[in-house]
C-alpha cells in the first residue's frame, strides 16, 4: 500500500470519526432538548378537579415526548392557593391550575367566567377567550393557556331544611353560609350571612355547626365528606367553574414553537374533554348523594327565575362596578341567558 493510499484511508477514517462525532452531538442535543415545566394545583391532588388537571398534564406528556413535559409537583402544600398565581408570575413555578376568582381584587374580569353560561370551546370561537388572555396578562402578569372543567355549576347546601318564601323561593335570612367572594353578594341578597372559612376547616365547622351551610360546586362534595352534614341542596345550580391554567410568560417565551403547539393543542382539546368528563361525574354525584339521603329542594317558575337572576346579576354587576374596560365585550361573549 503506497503512502498516498495510506493518507487517503487516514483522511477517510478521520472524516468518518468527525461525522460520527457530529451525529453524536446532534443526538445528544436532541435528547437534552426536551423541556420541562413545573406545575402546581390550587386543590389537593385527591380532589376531582386536580385529577382532571392531571389528565391535561398526562395528555401533554404523552404528546410531548422528547419535546415538552409537565412535572405535576403538588397542590396547596406547595403554596397557599391564593398565592400560587403570584408564584407563577415571579417564576418560582412555571404553571398553575386553579380558580381565577381568587384574584378578583386584581382581575375583576374573572367574574366573566363565574357568570358565564357558555362552554370554554364556545368562548374560544366567539373571541371571549382571547379577551381573557389579554386580561390575565395585563392584570396578573401571567399567560392564560386554558379554561378547564367548565359546565360544573355551584349549589347552596344546608345542614337543616331551609325555610320557604310565600312565592316558592328560599328564605335564608340569618343563616350563616360558608362563602367566598364570588358568592357573597348573592348570599346577602338571599338574606344569608356569608362566612369565610378555608376549605380544610369546613369539615370541622360543619361538624360543630358553627355555620349552617355552604356554597360549593356539585363536584367534590363527597370527596371532602361534607355530604355527611350537608343534607339539603337547593336547585337550580348557578354560576360556573372558573378554573384556569396559567404559565410564566418568560418561561413560555423560551419554549420552542413545537412545545408551544403541543401545549396549545392539548389545552383546546382538553377543554372539551374535561367538559364532557365532568358531565358524567355530575350525573354520578347527583345520583349518589340522592341515594345517600340528601334532599333536593327544586325551585320552579318565577321563584327559579328570580333565584338565577340574583345569582348572575351579582357577578356581572360586580365586574361592571369595578370599571373593567372589558365588561361589554366579555358579557357579550360569555353570557347568553
What pTM did the predictor assign? Answer: 0.85
CATH match for 35-150+242-279 among 3.20.20.80, 3.30.450.20, 3.40.190.170, 3.10.400.10: 3.40.190.170
Per domain, the residue ranges of the chain are: 35-150+242-279, 154-240+291-334
**Backbone φ, ψ for residue 208 (5° rounding):** -95, 0
| pLDDT 10s digits, 246-291 | 999 999 999 999 999 999 999 999 999 999 999 999 999 999 999 9
Fold: same for 35-150+242-279 and 154-240+291-334: yes
Rama region for 220: left / alpha / beta (φ>0; ψ in -120 to 50; rest): left
Long-range CB contact pairs, 89-92, < 8 A, 24+? 89/140, 89/141, 89/142, 89/248, 91/248, 91/250, 91/251
Distance in angstroms (rounded) separating the CA atoms of residues 220 and 193: 23
Fold classification of 154-240+291-334 is D-Maltodextrin-Binding Protein; domain 2 (3.40.190)
C-alpha cell at 21: 462525532
| pLDDT 10s digits, 50-107 | 999 999 999 999 999 999 999 999 999 999 999 999 999 999 999 999 999 999 999 9
Q: Is the dihedral of CA 83, 85, 91, 94 positive or negative?
A: positive
Amino acid at each position: 500500500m503506497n503512502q498516498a493510499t495510506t493518507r487517503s484511508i487516514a483522511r477517510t477514517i478521520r472524516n468518518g470519526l468527525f461525522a460520527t462525532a457530529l451525529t453524536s452531538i446532534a443526538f445528544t442535543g436532541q435528547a437534552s432538548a426536551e423541556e420541562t415545566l413545573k406545575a402546581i394545583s390550587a386543590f389537593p391532588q385527591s380532589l376531582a378537579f386536580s385529577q382532571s388537571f392531571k389528565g391535561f398534564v398526562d395528555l401533554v406528556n404523552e404528546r410531548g415526548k422528547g419535546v415538552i413535559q409537565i412535572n405535576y409537583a403538588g397542590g396547596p402544600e406547595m403554596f397557599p392557593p391564593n398565592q400560587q398565581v403570584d408564584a407563577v408570575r415571579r417564576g418560582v413555578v412555571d404553571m398553575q391550575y386553579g380558580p381565577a376568582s381568587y384574584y378578583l381584587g386584581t382581575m375583576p374580569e374573572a367574574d366573566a367566567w363565574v357568570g358565564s353560561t357558555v362552554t370554554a370551546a364556545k368562548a374560544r370561537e366567539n373571541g371571549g377567550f382571547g379577551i381573557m388572555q389579554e386580561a390575565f396578562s395585563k392584570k396578573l402578569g401571567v399567560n392564560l393557556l386554558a379554561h378547564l372543567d367548565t359546565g360544573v355549576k355551584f349549589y347552596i347546601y344546608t345542614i337543616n331544611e331551609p325555610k320557604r318564601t310565600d312565592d316558592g323561593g328560599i328564605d335564608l335570612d340569618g343563616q350563616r353560609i360558608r362563602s367566598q367572594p364570588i358568592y357573597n353578594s348573592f348570599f346577602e341578597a338571599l338574606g344569608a350571612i356569608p362566612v369565610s372559612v378555608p376549605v380544610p376547616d369546613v369539615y370541622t365547622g360543619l361538624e360543630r355547626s358553627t355555620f349552617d351551610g355552604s356554597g360549593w360546586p356539585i363536584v367534590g362534595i363527597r370527596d371532602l365528606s361534607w355530604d355527611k352534614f350537608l343534607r339539603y341542596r337547593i336547585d337550580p345550580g348557578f354560576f360556573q367553574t372558573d378554573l384556569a391554567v396559567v404559565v410564566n410568560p418568560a418561561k413560555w417565551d423560551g419554549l420552542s414553537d413545537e412545545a408551544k403547539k403541543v401545549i396549545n393543542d392539548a389545552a383546546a382539546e382538553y377543554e372539551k374533554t374535561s367538559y364532557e368528563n365532568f358531565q358524567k361525574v355530575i350525573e354520578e354525584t347527583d345520583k349518589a348523594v340522592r341515594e345517600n339521603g340528601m334532599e333536593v329542594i327544586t325551585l320552579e317558575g318565577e321563584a327559579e327565575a328570580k333565584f338565577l337572576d340574583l345569582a348572575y346579576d351579582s357577578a356581572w354587576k360586580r365586574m361592571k362596578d369595578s370599571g373593567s374596560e372589558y365588561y361589554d365585550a366579555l358579557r357579550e361573549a360569555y353570557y347568553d341567558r
